[in-house]
Amino acid sequence: MKIAQAAKKQLDLSTATLRYYENIGLIREIKRDDHGIRDYTEDDLQWIEFIKCMRNAGLSIDALREYTAFFFEDDDHTLSSRKKHFGQ
């Protein structure tokens, strides 16, 4: 799904917001077509919906950036630090 479709029809966000979220690392790198236009997958859209819900719940951008970094970290050695950080 192209950025304009995703922003307006699916997510109710502006294209500028989607680009901002991508630039600051809340959204992982979005695949692009041959013309350089972002092409969102269903997984991308679900992740953005999650971000949108967390923002609506009052979570700050900084907290979301930290969570995103932990979420996408795949090293086992960070598991204990992630559990400690999230109080588990």
27 pLDDT band (50/70/90 cuts)? very high
Assess whether pLDDT exceeds 90 at residue 5: no
Task: Quickly list H helices, 1-88.
Answer: 3-5, 15-23, 42-56, 61-72, 79-85
Range of the domain at 33: 3-85
DSSP state of 30: P
Side chain identity at 3, as an amino acid letter? I
What confidence tens digit (pLDDT) does each residue in 30-63 have?
Answer: 999 999 999 999 999 999 999 999 999 999 999 9
- Domain CATH code at residue 15: 1.10.1660.10
pTM, rounded to two decimals: 0.77
Number of domains in the chain: 1
Question: Are 3 and 36 in contact, with CB atoms under 8 Å apart?
Answer: no
What per-residue confidence (pLDDT) applies to 69? 85
